[in-house]
């Protein structure tokens, strides 16, 4: 059953509210993914999201509500008494994350993690299990020893390497909570230092990105990161800032490779290595730490 066919079973008042709410966005979303994803994916999105939009209108949910809270309320009321398997519910979380990312211009991965985190606090144990499984898959909970080591590493960077490429790279990872590759791919034109914002790419593993509905998101930068960026741009960055197409993070040869950035982080953290803190700090661990701060 399609969006509009599904809605004909509801009252005219509900239909009027729906036409002003998420349904127009859903229609655009479905039109865009049609033919660009497997049929099974399209019809799954169509079914789940149609029910999702109807539920929002029926319960008069305010769209100003945090999107992860809307998703959890829906999952709790719509799926709680169903016989859906855990894998099916996980699929619904991914579907809703993609759509809400498009609607709110947010990162679908961060939305998915926030939804999962909220599900872990849900009274129903089956939904708690879904949240646990999603968080477990993302491996976003570093052990306490590594968390302490990363905290010390960040402090050391700010004290002794402020404004270096490595420091800027780490601060942007922490502020945006983006994957290391997304930060590496930043161009100078993505930075709006006057507004304290940066545009960061969305992972192509998500439907909303793969079909071109949402390719980047706006992230605020902290005062510390902006200060470090100003120093980096003035004293260390290679290349002209007048070239808007050039990479934000640079080497003599242009954009640094993933291995170059990984090595620079490991080398900067080498001074913290000890028998009590033997684990190397790498960009992927910094991303886990940034996500963990959301969950804690």
| Cross-strand bridge partners of residue 198 | 191, 219
Alpha-carbon span 218 to 197, nearest angstrom: 7
3-state secondary structure the chain: CCHHHHHCCCCHHHHHHHHHCCHHHHHHHHHHHCCCCCHHHHHHHHHHHHHHHHHHHHCCCCCCCCHHHHHHHHHHHHHCCCCCCHHHHHHHHHHHHHHHHHHHCCCHHHHHHHHHHHHCCCCCHHHHHHHHHHHHHHCCCCCHHHHHHHHHHHHHHHHHCCCCHHHHHHHHHHHHCCCHHHHHCCEHHHEECCCCEEEEECCCCCHHHHCCCCCEEEEECCHHHHHHHHHHHHHCCCCCCCCCCCECCCECCECCCHHHHHHHHHHHHHHHCCCCCCCCCCHHHHHHHHHHHHHC
33: left (phi over 0), alpha (psi -120 to 50) or beta: alpha
pLDDT of residue 17: 41
pLDDT of residue 36: 95
274: left (phi over 0), alpha (psi -120 to 50) or beta: beta
Are the C-beta atoms of residues 265 and 289 closer than 8 Å to each other? no
Alpha-carbon span 105 to 214, nearest angstrom: 7
**Fold that domain 22-137 belongs to in CATH:** DNA polymerase; domain 1 (1.10.150)
Looking at the chain, which residues constitute the CATH 1.10.443.10 domain(s)? 144-293
pLDDT of residue 79: 72
pLDDT of residue 7: 35
Looking at the chain, which residues constitute the CATH 1.10.150 domain(s)? 22-137
* End-to-end Cα, the chain, rounded Å: 41
C-alpha 157: how far from its chain's center? 25
pLDDT of residue 138: 65
pLDDT of residue 119: 92
- pLDDT tens digits, the chain, 296 residues: what are they? 343 343 334 334 433 444 456 788 899 999 999 999 999 999 999 999 999 998 888 888 887 778 999 999 999 887 766 777 888 889 999 999 999 999 999 999 999 999 999 999 888 888 889 999 988 876 555 567 778 889 999 999 999 999 999 999 999 999 999 999 999 999 999 999 999 999 999 999 999 999 999 999 999 999 999 999 999 999 988 765 555 568 999 998 889 999 999 999 999 988 665 545 556 799 999 998 998 887 76
Are the C-beta atoms of residues 80 and 119 closer than 8 Å to each other? no
Q: Identify the burial level of 83 via C-beta atoms within 10 angstroms of its C-beta, where 0-12 means exposed, 13-18 middle and 19 or more buried.
A: exposed
CATH class of residue range 144-293: mainly alpha
Residue 164 to residues 125, 152, 249: CA-CA distances in angstroms? Answer: 47, 17, 10
């Amino acid at each position: 059953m399609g969006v509009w066919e599904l809605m004909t079973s509801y009252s005219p008042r509900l239909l009027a509210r729906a036409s002003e709410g998420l349904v127009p966005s859903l229609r655009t979303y479905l039109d865009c993914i049609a033919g660009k994803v497997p049929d099974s994916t399209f019809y799954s999105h169509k079914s789940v999201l149609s029910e999702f939009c109807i539920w929002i209108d029926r319960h008069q949910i305010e769209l100003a509500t945090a999107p992860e809270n809307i998703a959890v309320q829906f999952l709790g009321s719509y799926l709680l008494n169903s016989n859906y398997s855990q894998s099916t519910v996980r699929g619904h979380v991914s579907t809703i994350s993609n759509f809400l990312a498009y609607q709110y211009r947010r990162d679908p991965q961060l939305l998915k993690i926030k939804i999962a985190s909220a599900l872990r606090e849900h009274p129903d144990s089956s939904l708690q299990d879904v949240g646990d499984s999603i968080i477990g898959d993302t491996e976003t909970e570093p052990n306490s020893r590594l968390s302490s080591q990363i905290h010390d590493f960040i402090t050391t960077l700010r004290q002794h390497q402020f404004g270096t490429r490595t420091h800027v790279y780490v601060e942007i990872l922490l502020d945006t909570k983006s994957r290391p590759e997304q930060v590496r791919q930043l161009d100078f034109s993505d930075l709006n230092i006057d507004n304290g914002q940066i545009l960061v790419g969305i992972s192509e593993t998500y439907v909303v990105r793969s079909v071109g509905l949402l390719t980047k998101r706006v992230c605020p930068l902290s005062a510390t990161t902006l200060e470090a960026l100003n120093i980096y741009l003035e004293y260390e960055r290679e290349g002209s800032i007048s070239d808007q197409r050039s990479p934000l993070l640079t080497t003599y040869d242009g954009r640094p490779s993933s291995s170059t950035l990984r090595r620079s982080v490991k080398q900067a953290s080498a001074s913290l290595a000890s028998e009590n803190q033997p684990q190397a700090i790498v960009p992927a661990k910094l991303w886990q730490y940034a996500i963990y701060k959301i969950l804690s």
